[in-house]
Amino acid sequence: MAKQIGVPCMLIRGGTSKGPYFNSADLPKDPETRERFLLAAMGSPDARQIDGLGGADTLTSKVAIVGPSARDNADIDYLFAQVAVDKPIVDFEPPCGNMLAGVAPFAIERGMIKAQNGETRVVIYNVNTKSRIEAIVQTPDGEVRYDGDAAIHGVPGKAAPIRLNFMDIVGSKTGKFLPTGNPIDKIDGVDVTMIDVAMPMMMVRAADVGKTGYETPDELDADQAFFARMEAIRLKAGQLMGLGNVAGKVIPKMAILSPARSDGATLSARYFVPHETHAAFAVTGSICVASCAVLPGSVADGIAKPSPGDEREIIIEHPSGEIDVALVTRGSGASIEIVSGGSLRTARKIMDGTVFVPAAVFEKAPVRRRMM
């Protein structure tokens, strides 16, 4: 009789993403075995992910691995895993700021953190980017509150607000705000700004690549010639940023920028993950785009309308609405520095239980791996 092995998990919607959250202590210690388990748990590789928890979309094929931190300056360690839908690949290189929204609630629910009466502050160490994020969770009566009046575009209804303050965001992968040292480089005849704040990204003006910047995700995804052109630029950007050969990797991410269409917004953007269009916007990506919006001489200069001062609210239009970034800067002109970035997200606990995978998963040949 075929056996199955069960592992506890909690299904949580974090921001505009969704996936299972695991206690790191419950997962296999061997990296290859752990990845085989994650593929089986999510039902990959399969376009429908019919045999697992995945939702047949990159935004719902995500995993959060959470555990107590041994670091003096953090409470919790968070490792994000992007599980490919139709390929046997588990990618640990990129972070996910939306799944991050569910980390502190999960840690409190699992007893890793003791909730305070009112609100609880949790310092999270993101293993992917080796950075820290402060999460502020509503915990009246010492329990996580999920209902509330906060709304984020891309998610129906309202929920309790979760504030994410990104503490170590500059040079997340390259060690530099501007990996090439320039606000603009030219690649294949296109002006490109490459920034590494919370997420390494390359950004271009939508008009420079034949787009308005207001297209829907479906319209952009249908244009394979556009993606081929952008990928060619991205591969060269990866080399210039010191990331090496990024073929088959998800960083650097990409965005196309255009002027905002609504009053009060800073600019409009479409974010790519990187081979399809994000239905909304990534939190880490929004901080990087916000940094581009305030950088003189970048591709956003002349497009974006950032608020003045060192404490700014940057509002980015995206296909599902808008995302707000609280950006703190220091200095001005070419010497501007990014001090911190924050975002308001919400999360909801959907299911708490056990996911089962075939025991044979632990005995099969190694999967294709990308590890930190």
Q: For residues 15 and 133, give the distance between their C-alpha atoms in angstroms, rounded to a whole number.
A: 15
Could you give the domains of the chain? 4-161+347-370 (3.10.310.10), 185-343 (3.10.310.10)
Q: What is the pLDDT along the chain (372 residues), one digit of tens a residue?
A: 469 999 999 999 999 999 999 999 999 999 999 999 999 999 999 999 999 999 999 999 999 999 999 999 999 999 999 999 999 999 998 889 899 999 999 999 999 999 999 999 999 999 998 889 999 999 999 999 999 999 998 899 999 999 999 888 899 899 999 999 999 999 999 999 999 999 999 999 999 999 999 999 999 999 999 999 999 999 999 999 999 999 988 899 999 999 999 999 999 999 999 999 999 999 999 999 999 999 999 999 999 999 888 989 999 999 999 999 999 999 887 789 998 899 899 999 999 999 999 999 988 555 554 444
- What are the C-alpha distances in Å from 190 to residues 184, 185, 195, 232, 274? 10, 8, 16, 11, 18
> pLDDT tens digits, residue range 254-269?
999 999 999 999 999 9
pTM tops 0.75: yes
CB 76 within 8 A of CB 33: no
Task: Tell me: cis bond preceding 45? Omega within 30 of 0 counts.
Answer: yes
Q: What Rg, from alpha-carbon coordinates, does the chain have? A: 20
Tokens of 188: 């294949």
Which ranges of the chain does DSSP label H, i.e. alpha helix?
31-42, 97-100, 103-109, 217-221, 224-240, 283-293
